[in-house]
Structure 1
Amino acid sequence: MKQIWKPGTMIYPLPAVLVSCGDMERSNLITVAWTGTICTNPAMCYISIRPERHSYPIIASTMEFTINLTTESMAHATDLCGVKSGRDIDKWEVTGLTKGKGVNVSCPYIVESPLSIECRVKEIMHLGSHDMMIAEVLGVLADDSLLDPSTGAFDLGQAGLINYSHGHYYRQGEEIGRFGWTVKKK
């Protein structure tokens, strides 16, 4: 039997990401769990953030951001960037994370992140508590230590990614299958 609850956002787990915005001199980090893929061709994604957040006007004015996937070693920084405001502290300095110069955007990426996705905002949808920033992916920066030297295949499973689920952070689990494995011929 299932209990009936009021409407809520219970689609979990989600990636816990750090979004970087601004430029190399004045930038900020914001923790975001409301993020995802919209389209593969053209490559598009979204983030949803509250308009009162410090990063919101930075992104709205530059129309750029970078999504940085987070790992277990980045968990403390990920949480801190979600509970402290860039109005009050320099999150780069406090977390010890390293700024990398963006390739396709002016905002920095996080060097310690295994994968950074550089984005340009195409549209901001005002939805309620959060606004959705729909963005085109301009480039992806992948940590070459996760590349298999013989095949060139990228193994993000080895990165130690973390997820967010209803107020808690979790390590990503082990692989149980691969897309199409249920119909693969033996």
Structure 2
Amino acid sequence: MSKVLWKPGTMVYPAPAVMVSCGTMETPNIITIAWTGTVCTSPAMTYISVRKERYSYDFIKDSGKFVINLTTKSLVKATDFCGVKSGRDFDKFTHCGLTKTKGTLTDVPMIAESPVNIECEVTQIVELGSHDMFLAKVLGITIEDSYLDETGKFRLDKAGLIAYAHGTYYDLGDPLGTFGYSIMKKKTQKKRNQAKKQNREKT
């Protein structure tokens, strides 16, 4: 097996492709972000990295609030559009046929069609170079209750989430394993597989 050395670049893929909403219900905007993720569990914290010249930058900097909206197969066209077009020219909610709902804990609009809306409050802005990183604490998460099963478990795997890799959007594929499965006892694994099979037969 041979390998080729490339110059430094952003090659940590796949990455999430999320739509970040910002502004207010009267002056809303959406920016598509791939540079985002979890940075801390307790307290729950996340980040987004945004170029200074982007229209959403000042919305987020001035208000100190934003919402991360997870994206799905049905939202992929809107996700792409909100990443390549500027909100300076038109209302992206209206253009993409998206429904804005007022945040539960902030005045920032959420995207109703997203299965998960994560309301965030900026705690620090770190200047990095091409992008500034908005480090933020998670204020609360709103989920679509249709993805709750009869046990109350959130079946996010049913939402049709998408990911982004090297310029292309992808549908998430079949599960390969669950956290800790590599050290799970065979008897436990067998019971879990049987439960999964029963759940599939019900749906």
1:133 matched to 2:138? The reply is no
- Secondary structure of the corresponding residue to residue 65 of structure 1: strand
1:1-186 equivalences in 2 (<5 Å): 1-148=2-149, 150-185=150-185, 186=187
Could you tell me which runs of 5 or more consecutive residues in structure 2 were left unpaired when the two chains were aligned. 188-203
Shift of 1:89: 1.4
C-alpha distance in 2, partners of 1:44/1:171? 26
Extract unaligned runs of 5+ from structure 1.
none
Task: Using the TM superposition, give the Cα deviation of residue 173 of structure 1 relative to its aligned residue in structure 2, in angstroms.
Answer: 1.1
Q: Which amino acid aligns with 2:156?
A: L
TM-score by length of 2: 0.90
Deviation for aligned residue 1:84? 0.5
Bigger proportion of residues as helix: 2
Task: Using the TM superposition, give the Cα deviation of residue 114 of structure 1 relative to its aligned residue in structure 2, in angstroms.
Answer: 0.6
Off by >4 Å, runs of 4+ in structure 1: none
Mapped to 1, the partners of 2:25 and 2:153 lie a distance apart of: 31
Question: What is the DSSP-based 3-state SS (H/G/I as helix, E as strand, rest coil) of the residue aligned with 1:182?
Answer: helix
Shift of 1:184: 1.1
CA deviation profile, 1:102-158 (whole Å, cap 9, x unmatched): 01111011000010100000000000000000000000001101000x210001110
Counterpart of 2:107 in 1: which secondary structure?
coil
Aligned equivalents of 1:15, 1:100: Cα separation in 2: 22
Identity %: 59
CA deviations over 1:160-181 (Å, ceiling 9, x no partner): 0111101110001111100011
The TM-score normalised by the length of structure 1 is 0.98
Aligned residue type for 2:171? R
